[in-house]
Structure 1
């Protein structure tokens, strides 16, 4: 809050409605400076970034309010999606005055304005944000037999031992090519659907499944073909169908910013019999790439030579990926997918995302589009352009890296109020549907394993040492206790809780590829697995955890407590991240309180509930 009680955009005494505004709707502002400041006038100064317009709206002086005076006015949100940056200007009858922005009163000619997100209302599928998502790295989840890599694109080899460490060492040329495979398959995933159902999973998010020369498959070789080591299109259709029979959906990873150099489209090594862009300028795919000097110098993703960047504006590429009757977006939705997660969405043009969303809504109206963005997606700048992911015509939601960053900081000794502030910033900036459709998580294929991060106080310097590193028993015990806290917050917070495969089983590992080991079937951490299963059942069993309003109750040092509310239904998450016991006092109108995690009951006294949380203890109160 700037200048106590003068203006706070999160307080309904100062701004209504809370947060982002729908195009064309009225937003009411109230400012309450001290009467002793002798301000006689106040104006809202609003700058619309996309249209480049500026508006100054003088607020009406409503009169005294105790030791303060109140200025009020109604601002009409622009009719088109916008980012509105606003501050206030105060002045007196003698012409003196100042401005008020996020930093307080100032008269230096600078401003640090507040943000008002203006979005177009559109339909967002409710199933994704309400449910539990499970991310699978297909090669490492479940294999039913050891595959033969002969005759496939890329110089692949297969680990015979499922429990091997993924290959992290460079090859003789000094390159890390990710050509070691373990043989996980789509039929393997299908065989484990009942296990995933028991975990509470409702959405499977699969890392890329299309033909590719590498085990991660983010260097696509053929978008039209399931990688043969994973199976066939029939296997994919069967997976989606059997998942739907269990109330589960499948979303795919779309990598449309770049392809692999060993793809049918680029074909750098001539593996495919057709002419790729690197072989002939007459190739039908030549226009898909930006050559600086053909054929050996071209634009690539982050300068990685094996990942040539595509020219998204090439008409034939747009038709192939999006617009065509049997485009990649449409084809795999028809095959059974229920949505797409867009890899490196911040490197795809806005118009490209708009087209993808439109094609999805035409083909499968209930499908969901999630973007990979690592920051606050409401004001992200990429390639010098402010992005418009969440303004109504692009993604339904984003991967919530800010959630992970803030929660980890809190669990590793930070202040719970910093977590609250980070989340309130998103809640204020995001349209409500986007906030509730965020993909929340503790880890992904791009981050170290959450158990390793929570258990170790240092990172070994060499990759070899990191590859061999395993938590000591006491470190693992500490990490598991913190993981229970983290996962409770994950499963009770707005947005879809996403489990990175194996985190629930106690998998460890530092950075890629050490975080991409094989699922330890038969060797899971049974206590952790039971904990995650319990959380999944609670999330699916209590609609208030899926769609209920968020209310903060306590954010002080190691103590974090918030409620999810829907009418008379209220569940409270309470966490103590400290190594010492902590007391927590909460207002409680009901006659009793029950912890849904342990079954313990508590009796409030005179409308107050006094709790003693043990070290790294937590409750989910009903």
Structure 2
């Protein structure tokens, strides 16, 4: 038993309240080391003349990554408090593990064990309930549809007439989105994530000039209100992009600093290193990356905080938006985000708060800041395995398992799972324009745990390299759209809506990975239904034995809605898949 690899801490993803009465407990151990594990648990105040009263229950092997196994147990303490430890076995020895380390047998000293002091309902992580059932669609407004040419900025080009360049304008606006909203309804979309819509000097609008005004190329506030109302009438939620880490160069406060220098009343709004403040040859103020056009805001400054929190409230109160996506969220101080959450939730408790963070995000997901982050580790694993072929089936399962065990299960349900965005090459391009691979990506994304997001145009087969190539105009001529791909994505979204196990209620588990054939088999399971999905990520036709007992289960091919004729082995075409439904 390699004791150095065994790890638990009574917090975050290792020990947490799943709901108002349930605790989830995880234990990490070296991969393949433990043969079984048991949770020892009891109320810290329940004693008899024989000592502390406790019970024991077996833990399940939740999954494995490259180095570790993860063991899991769920327990409902009668009085909402718990002392607990682990009884663990390898092939050669056994031990009991607690907060004070290892013992050969159960300790009589309750201080030896880990402590969950009390399950306070207010501490339970709760994202808005509607999010787990939402399928998002990301719109880059400048490139979705031009509904009112009178709003076109100077130099606007005919729609889709050329491949975009960094400074290209095609005139996308709110009226164009309203006119084409039925495209989203037909697909099954129930949430739109808009990249920034506020007044700015670029086509991407991440350089905000005025956080209180709509960029005139998109329309006015009256049109935006109509857009939100139209979305809500169609059952679609609306999330806006907030750039609170930095402003644009032409933001009034920063222009005042450049004009008045040390005499500016806004000099505390930014991170200025010296005077005179200057952008060239190198900015002597903090920026997003090293872009002089995006000076970093000092969110610790009381006036900055007051202004931005007013912005957060205003667009919810006046326009009834349903969420905020927070750009470069990891570079803003935690205290600001705590106040941001209180402000937003006071106005609309069911608003969704999504942070853009590309790395381990547990510090932001403890219930006091964000409801979710953009799940880029999911994105990387899916693209590396299916689109690029740079990792094999086992590595794919290891990476996804690591993503899942990095957070509590209730956090994973709200994770924002994307495949492509305005920041990355189009997924069909990453797939080397192999649409069979793209279909597997959509299948996996829409059957995984979390809330999935489709980047506009990916559902009809748009291509494009990294920015600006990934920001092509949406194609509205149906003869130029891949309608077969559209209908496949539509069908997957329908399965997600109609089958709780296929969607976010299904407990996800890898059942098999095979590096020789490069296939994976995984299950999604609820109390009443199990769905098993097999993916052949290879150019060869293969036969797969499903590692599951089908006795008395009446398996159905869910994709074709036909009884499954052969259960011991199924044939998968190159880059093919099978979706099998089993009812209890």
Structure 1 and Structure 2 fold alike (TM over 0.5): yes
Q: Give the distance between the partners of 1:80 and 1:505, measured in 2 at CA.
A: 47
Q: How does 1:513-532 map to 2 (within 5 A)?
A: 513-522=468-477, 523-532=480-489
| 1:504-546 deviation per Cα after TM superposition (whole angstroms, max 9, x unaligned) | 1111111101100100111211111111111121112222213
User: Partner of 2:65 in structure 1?
Assistant: none
Tell me which of 286, 311, 319 is aligned to 2:267. 286
Change (3 A) 1:307 1:30: same
CA contact (8 A) 2:424 2:466 kept: yes
Shift of 1:276: 5.3
DSSP-derived class of the 1:256 partner: coil
Alignment-derived partner of residue 215 in structure 2 = 227
Alpha-carbon separation, structure 1, partners of 2:380 and 2:60? 22
- 2:164 aligns with one of 166, 181, 191: 166
8 Å CA contact 1:15–1:28 kept in 2: the answer is no
Post-superposition Cα deviations, 1:369-401, rounded to whole Å, max 9, x if no partner, equal: 1111112322xxxxxxxxx11111111111111
Question: Can you list the C-alpha shifts for 1:554-603, whole angstroms capped at 9, x where unaligned?
Answer: 22222112121111212222110111112222222345332232334313
CA distance 1:237–1:148, shift in 2 (3 Å)? closer
SS in 1 for 2:429: helix
Alignment length, in residue pairs?
502
1:554 to 512, 521, 529: 512
SS state at 1:251 partner:
strand
State how far apart, in whole Å, the 2-side matches of 1:203 and 1:162 are. Answer: 25
Distance 1:214 1:619, change over 3 A: same
Partner residue of 1:308? 295
In the alignment, the residues of structure 1 paired with residue 541 and residue 117 of structure 2 have an alpha-carbon distance, to the nearest angstrom, of 51
Gaps of 5+ in 2: 1-28, 38-58, 63-68, 279-283
Q: State the alpha-carbon separation in 2 of the partners of residues 534 and 494 from structure 1.
A: 18
Q: Which residue of structure 2 aligns with residue 134 of structure 1?
A: 137
The alignment's TM-score, normalised by the length of structure 2, stands at: 0.80
Q: Is the 8 A contact 1:390 1:431 kept in 2?
A: no
What CA distance in whole angstroms lies between the structure 2 residues aligned with 1:393 and 1:233?
31
User: Equivalent residue for 2:21?
Assistant: none
- How is 1:115-514 mapped onto 2 (pairs within 5 angstroms)? 120-148=123-151, 157-167=155-165, 178-267=166-255, 275=256, 278-292=259-273, 293-296=275-278, 297-322=284-309, 327-334=310-317, 335-378=319-362, 388-411=363-386, 412-413=388-389, 414-455=391-432, 476=433, 479-514=434-469
Q: Is the 8 A contact 1:449 1:515 kept in 2?
A: yes
SS in 2 for 1:298: coil
Identify the residue that residue 32 of structure 1 maps to in structure 2.
89
Q: Secondary structure in 2 aligned to 1:17?
A: strand
Q: Which one of the candidate residues 582, 592, 599 is aligned to 2:542?
A: 582
Indicate if the aligned counterparts of 2:354 and 2:370 stay in contact, CA closer than 8 A: yes
TM-score (normalised: structure 1): 0.76
Q: 1:14 to 1:531 in 2, by over 3 A?
A: closer
Work out whether residues 369 and 396 of structure 1, in 8 Å CA contact, stay in contact via their aligned partners in 2.
Answer: yes
1: CA distance between counterparts of 2:101 and 2:373?
34
Unaligned runs of 5+ in 1: 45-54, 64-71, 82-118, 151-155, 168-177, 268-274, 379-387, 456-475
